[in-house]
Structure 1
């Protein structure tokens, strides 16, 4: 049983790489996963998890993802029983190489997103004008990280460095150790702040640990027992398949880099903090102090948000209609036309909802304390 555990784990990781959708690489993984596993996953969700309305899309931390993992574990267990022992070492070697490549691409994706501030983006005006205690922990974390470009860029560089180190055999052990440290931190953040990629980050962590399966004992002897350790023979892909593997690895890395970097190159935005926002993007304070509505916010993703004095918010998706007109749509698909007058010189915005009118003044939300690039070398400087 023990001799089949490692090969079974390797097969599971291979199946996970194949069937768990990485949305930034396109929609093809989700499509073939749905084609193969949708009905079975739906049955598991309904009969084992007792949920009738769950969406089957295999997204991270969803019930359908848990169902997919159950399916892949079962398939892995069956496969390792059917595969002859003489082939299991090849499967282990292949799974390790695939895992290393997969980890490198994922780390590069999130590393570049951090460097270009596409992951920890600048908090939106409606978040900045909300009370600290009224925000959920995941929004608090995301918003706090978004205020620091230095942290975001530094974290991104570390992830890209780890990805580069694990791609080369001579630095792979160091790269995997760095990756494990990074992934432990990410997993604890996801757990501590209830961020919905907990299960995915945990599997990535297990992958990094698995990829070090041949090095844990030498590392223990060297780091803990202080013994001299001679470099072991590195297992490689079978020579007759090596050229095929090199071609696949190069092509996959190249295509992944194109997919990761193309949106930034195409838009020309390499710092999301300074990227263009819609015309009305920002925060507007209602000039009528007797009105229940205190603020009007325009989110960069085309949402109009009304905040009352109790900080309850109502949001609408909007489209630009005719000149000086917005078409608002609520979550029941009801549409409302709102005429507006924006006087940029005086920072005044008037919204005509038909039954009532809101006159507002634009606020300079970028001048709020949370967004100032303050740095104090000594505590006296902060006084």
Structure 2
């Protein structure tokens, strides 16, 4: 029964790797998943979950992902029960090897994103000028992590080291143990701060545990019982092994190129210093009687108006002409806003029809949260 369980788990992980979309590898997985499971997922979401507006994109923590996981689990364990035992050994070997490569690529992706400061990015001005208690926990966590480049780079290096270690057989067990620690921490963060990759991180952790399935008992004997053990590598007698080695090397190489290409193409290896759009920043309304207190220009071309109660209204904008911004709200409504900006006195003028807002630019990068301080002793703090 135990071997059937591990075979079912191996098949599930193979199917999950094939059909759960990783955006940085392109649209092939998403399009394949929609083709194979799109209609079924949509039907289950409507008829069983009673959700008429479900996101059928299989993103983490969405109903479509839960349905996909449920369907893949059924397919996997039914296949494991019907499969002849002589095929189980080869399936377990290749599923374990593929899981290891998958974990290495995912850890490499998130490790490089941290090293280049693209995951924990610098908090936007509208976040910095919001009250701590008014922000959701996930935004708080992301923003606090984004204020420290040192922490981002350090955790990224650890993930990259774990990724490299699990690729090579001599360091694989130690690399997988480090990966388990990394993924346990990530899962706890996602649960504790309600970050919407909870199920994906849980499955990654399950993969790392699965990849160590042959080592858990020897490790227990070595670490707890203090016995001498010899870890053995089991490889099936198969002619497909050279093809697998070539495929693994090609996939890892392709993944490395795909992950690094955006950074090399943009020449951006520190997102904190990446070029921001024109007018990006924070502006304080000089009219004390106005309900609008701040105007924020977000790096993703959003204009955000914050009133005195910290209620925010945002619009996506494009620059229509030299002195015109075209704003669009979430219902599709459009507003044309005249603007002028004087860099010398840092004044921004916005014309909403007959209503004119005069705002002064704020030096948001000088705020305390963004100061690169490191105190060796408490007496040096001021």
Paired with 2:31 and 2:2, the residues of 1 have a C-alpha distance of: 35
The match for 1:117 is: 117
Paired with 1:19 and 1:279, the residues of 2 have a C-alpha distance of: 40
Deviation sequence 1:34-81 (CA, Å, 0-9, x none)? 101111112221222222221211110000100000100111012112
- Unmatched tracts of structure 1, length 5 or more: none
Deviation sequence 1:115-146 (CA, Å, 0-9, x none)? 00000000000000000000000000000000
User: What TM-score comes out, normalization by structure 1 length?
Assistant: 0.98
Runs of 4+ in 1 over 3 A off after TM superposition: none
The match for 2:228 is: 228
- Given that 2:89 and 2:236 are in contact with CA atoms closer than 8 Å, whether structure 1 keeps it comes out as no
Deviation sequence 1:191-225 (CA, Å, 0-9, x none)? 00000000000000000000000100110000000
The match for 2:212 is: 212
The match for 1:32 is: 32
The match for 2:328 is: 329
Paired with 1:52 and 1:338, the residues of 2 have a C-alpha distance of: 37
- Partner of 1:285, secondary structure, is strand
Higher deviation after alignment, 46-55 or 301-310: 46-55
Asked if 1:174 is matched to 2:174, the reply is yes
Shift of 1:108: 0.3
The match for 2:244 is: 245
Deviation sequence 1:247-289 (CA, Å, 0-9, x none)? 1111101111111000000000100001110110000000001
Paired with 2:336 and 2:310, the residues of 1 have a C-alpha distance of: 25
Deviation sequence 1:283-337 (CA, Å, 0-9, x none)? 0000001100000000000000000000000000001101111100000111111
Paired with 1:351 and 1:53, the residues of 2 have a C-alpha distance of: 37
The match for 1:283 is: 282
Shift of 1:231: 3.2
User: What TM-score comes out, normalization by structure 2 length?
Assistant: 0.99
For these two proteins, the number of residue pairs brought into alignment is: 382
- Unmatched tracts of structure 2, length 5 or more: none
The match for 1:368 is: 367
Deviation sequence 1:331-371 (CA, Å, 0-9, x none)? 01111111101001110100011131100010000000000
- Given that 2:215 and 2:231 are in contact with CA atoms closer than 8 Å, whether structure 1 keeps it comes out as no
Paired with 1:197 and 1:374, the residues of 2 have a C-alpha distance of: 31
Query: Superposed, which structure 2 residues align to 1:1-383 within 5 Å?
Result: 1-232=1-232, 234-236=233-235, 238-383=237-382
Paired with 1:310 and 1:189, the residues of 2 have a C-alpha distance of: 30
Deviation sequence 1:21-44 (CA, Å, 0-9, x none)? 001111110101010111111222
- Given that 1:16 and 1:72 are in contact with CA atoms closer than 8 Å, whether structure 2 keeps it comes out as yes
With over 3 angstroms needed to count, the CA separation of the structure-2 counterparts of 1:142 and 1:104, relative to structure 1, is same
Deviation sequence 1:86-133 (CA, Å, 0-9, x none)? 000110000000000000000000000000000000000000000000
Shift of 1:239: 4.7
- Given that 1:306 and 1:313 are in contact with CA atoms closer than 8 Å, whether structure 2 keeps it comes out as yes
